[in-house]
């Protein structure tokens, strides 16, 4: 691909192909790719999920290309680490400016590859840039060597802690937020002094390429941030390539495969998995605000949000009123490709079947559809679906649906709501609506989740200082915030002896008197 082609969204004459046609093309492409990374079809084609229009061809990179990229990254990382946090900050802020200045171009690529509305893509890009800004400006404060108190018994030591880069970090990303999600690893890993090799989803290779190209334009001779395009095998090759850490975002099923590969070489990994986030609505909640948030969290981005709302537990005294409000708001939403559309298509075709299975299971088990139903599920757009009183053992309650579907169930009280919210294997985000601050805090502290919002959904996303990550099938490790910077660092402790200790115990010539005094000090300090 030429430089100019990489700088702008790939342009291809629109073709009036149907989605079936896209499926056919993809199937043919898959057939052309034998298993294994050595003998690969060389082309990865990106499509617009709204129109099936072909957007562009990217390299389907195999093990050789990945290894070559890592080699270049290793050498560039030495320069990058040598700049120190203040030098890196200047480069990263320049990169940030380059992205921000051309944000409209990036938005266009995201819209074309995911089908999401422009406004949603803008929101995603703006949030990603905030994280890059925060990581650049705070890395020095968090990671640079700083003194810690040595304490009474080691007062002759000057103690300090510093965080060193790991080396090269392999970032594997999903397609649903193809800028915001990987930037949560990329920005923090770079700011911590690592080089990054990014494998975007096979559905959004243009977005990853665009990001890498902005870095390449800025620092053509320093491949500190590079992209490798391809599919699952390319991701697997990256995990095998002896990077110093893998940061994976995607489904729990793929996470298991990633970890199995990483285990072979003891490569550490951060796992940002899926979610089945619950919202809890208390009897005293502002119902209109809660309903607005539920509809946004459940239907926004066609429900393809790892920390969106999939389940709502509502205290029974306000259940009917809440459902009525959600019904009214959800019915107004129209998915589509036009600028005024509430949300776009299902980006990944196969997800449509998952949504159908979940809705069918919920209805078969006795749930009721109050908005939409099985007929709402068409390709590539799914109309809003709201289900109530769905049995807790339905897969619509236990598994990630990842579509514009809300399950609303009634509970006796907040304790029952917490118990049900905590009952799935996922634990990524959660939210609670109540007007009582102490109640909100009480619920938040009892929810099994990596992040909880009170009286909003997704309210944390723009707070770069807040660490983000999950529990259980939602993963482990943290991105964002100070913990996100430390996640991509190796801590090193240094104790420098300033003078000989008055009670000199670390010697074979230990004096009995020194030990006697030490025992007395010990008893005085710890037995009172
Ligand atoms: P996915 O698991 O299908 O793929 C994710 C990435 O892994 C892709 O780049 C893919 O090519 C790669 N991959 C696939 N098989 C691989 C293998 N064997 N080895 C290495 N890499 C491999 O997920 P997806 O469909 O792209 O994304 C949707 C999922 O991501 C949902 O479950 C969603 O909840 C989750 N997600 C989580 C977060 C978070 O921050 N926790 C954010 C966004 C999305």
163-170 mean pLDDT:
98
The pLDDT assigned to 177 comes to: 98
- C-alpha distance across the termini of the chain, in Å: 73
pLDDT given at position 19: 40
Q: From the candidates 272, 310, 349, 487, which is the catalytic residue? A: 272
Give how far Cα 45 sits from Cα of 57, 96, 480, 508, Å: 4, 28, 32, 70
Q: What is the DSSP string of 361-388?
A: HHHHTT-EEEE--GGGB-SS-B--EEEE
Average pLDDT of the chain to the nearest whole number: 93
Please name the residue whose Cα sits nearest to atom 5 of ligand 1.
250
Which residue among 229, 254, 272, 487 has the greatest number of ligand 1 atoms within 8 angstroms of its CB, and so is best to mutate?
A: 254
175-191 residue pLDDT tens: 999 999 999 999 999 99
Residues shown for the chain: 528
CA 174 to ligand 1 centroid distance, Å: 5
Task: Measure Cα distances from 203 to 34, 171, 195, 348 in Å.
Answer: 19, 16, 24, 8
The CB of 201 under 6 Å from ligand 1? The reply is yes
Rounded Cα gap, residues 407 and 276, in angstroms: 11
CB 203 within 8 A of CB 230: no
Is residue 197 within 8 Å of 50, Cβ to Cβ? Answer: no
**pLDDT per residue over 310-338, tens digit each?**
999 999 999 999 999 999 999 999 999 99
Q: What angle do CA 330, 333, 336 make, to 5 degrees?
A: 145
- Whether 306 is a known active-site residue: answer yes
Answer whether 137's CB lies under 8 Å from 129's CB: no
Q: What Cα–Cα distance (Å) separates residue 423 from each residue in 253, 277, 469, 526?
A: 19, 11, 18, 42
- Measured in Å, residue 437 CA sits from the centre of ligand 1 at 36
In tens, the pLDDT along 347-371 reads 999 999 999 999 999 999 999 999 9
Q: Say if ligand 1 is within 6 A of residue 380 CB.
A: no
144 alpha carbon – ligand 1 mean position (Å): 32
Reference 346, options 214, 447, 203, 486; nearest CA is 203
- Compute the average pLDDT of residues 11-37: 39
The pLDDT score that the predictor gives to residue 349 is 92
Coil, strand or helix at 168: strand
CA distance 215 to 226: 8
- Exposed e or buried b for every residue in 103-116, given b needs 16+ CB within 10 A? bebbbbbbbbbbbb
Beta carbon of 274 within 6 Å of any ligand 1 atom: yes
pLDDT band at 41 (very low <50, low <70, confident <90, very high): low
Three-state SS sequence of 12-43: CCCCCCCHHHHHHHHHHHHHHCCCCCCCCCCE
User: Ligand 1: which of 250, 267, 479 to mutate, most ligand atoms within 8 Å of CB?
Assistant: 250
Q: Percent of the chain, pLDDT > 70?
A: 92
């Amino acid at each position: 691909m030429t430089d100019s082609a990489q700088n702008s969204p790939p342009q291809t004459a629109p073709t009036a192909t149907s989605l079936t046609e896209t499926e056919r093309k993809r199937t043919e492409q898959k057939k052309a790719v034998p298993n294994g990374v050595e003998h690969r079809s060389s082309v990865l084609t990106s499509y617009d999920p709204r129109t099936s229009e072909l957007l562009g061809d990217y390299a389907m990179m195999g093990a050789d290309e990945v290894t070559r990229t890592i080699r270049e990254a290793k050498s560039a990382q030495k320069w990058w680490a040598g700049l120190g946090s203040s030098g890196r900050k200047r480069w990263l802020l320049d990169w940030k400016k380059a992205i921000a200045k051309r944000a409209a171009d990036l938005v266009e690529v995201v819209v074309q590859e995911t089908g999401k509305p422009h406004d949603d893509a803008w929101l995603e890009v703006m949030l990603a840039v905030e994280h890059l800004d925060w990581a650049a400006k705070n890395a020095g404060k968090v990671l640079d060597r700083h003194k810690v108190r040595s304490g009474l018994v080691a007062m002759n030591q000057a103690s300090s802690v510093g965080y060193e880069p790991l080396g090269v970090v392999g970032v594997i990303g999903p397609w649903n937020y193809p800028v915001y999600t990987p930037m949560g690893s990329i920005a923090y890993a770079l700011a911590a002094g690592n080089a990054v090799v990014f494998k975007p989803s096979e559905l959004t290779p243009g977005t990853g390429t665009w990001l890498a190209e902005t870095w390449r334009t800025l620092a053509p001779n320093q491949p500190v941030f590079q992209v490798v395009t391809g599919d699952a095998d390319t991701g697997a090759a990256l995990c095998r390539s002896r990077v110093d850490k893998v940061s994976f975002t995607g489904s729990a099923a793929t996470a298991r495969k990633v970890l199995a590969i990483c285990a072979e070489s003891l490569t550490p990994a951060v796992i940002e998995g899926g979610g089945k986030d619950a919202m809890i609505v208390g009897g005293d909640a502002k119902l209109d605000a809660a309903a607005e948030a539920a509809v946004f969290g459940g239907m926004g981005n066609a429900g393809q949000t790892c920390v969106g709302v999939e389940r709502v537990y509502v205290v029974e005294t306000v259940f009917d009123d809440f459902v009525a409000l959600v019904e009214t708001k959800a019915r107004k939403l129209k998915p589509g490709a036009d600028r005024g559309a509430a949300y776009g298509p299902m980006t990944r075709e196969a997800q449509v079947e998952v949504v159908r299975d979940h809705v069918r299971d919920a209805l078969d088990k006795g749930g009721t559809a109050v908005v939409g139903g099985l007929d709402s599920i068409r390709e590539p757009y799914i109309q809003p679906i709201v289900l109530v009183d769905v049995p807790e053992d339905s897969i619509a309650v236990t598994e990630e649906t990842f579509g514009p579907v809300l399950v609303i169930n009634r509970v006796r009280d907040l304790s029952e709501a917490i118990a049900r919210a905590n009952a799935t294997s996922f634990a990524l985000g959660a939210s609670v609506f109540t007007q009582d601050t102490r109640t909100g805090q009480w619920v938040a502290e009892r929810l099994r989740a990596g992040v909880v919002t009170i009286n909003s959904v997704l309210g944390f996303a723009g707070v770069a200082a807040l660490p983000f990550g999950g529990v259980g099938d939602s993963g482990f490790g943290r991105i964002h915030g100070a913990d996100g910077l430390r996640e991509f660092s190796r801590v090193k402790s240094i104790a420098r002896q300033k003078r000989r200790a008055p009670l000199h115990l670390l010697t074979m010539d230990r004096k009995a008197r020194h030990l006697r005094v030490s025992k007395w000090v010990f008893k005085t300090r710890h037995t009172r």
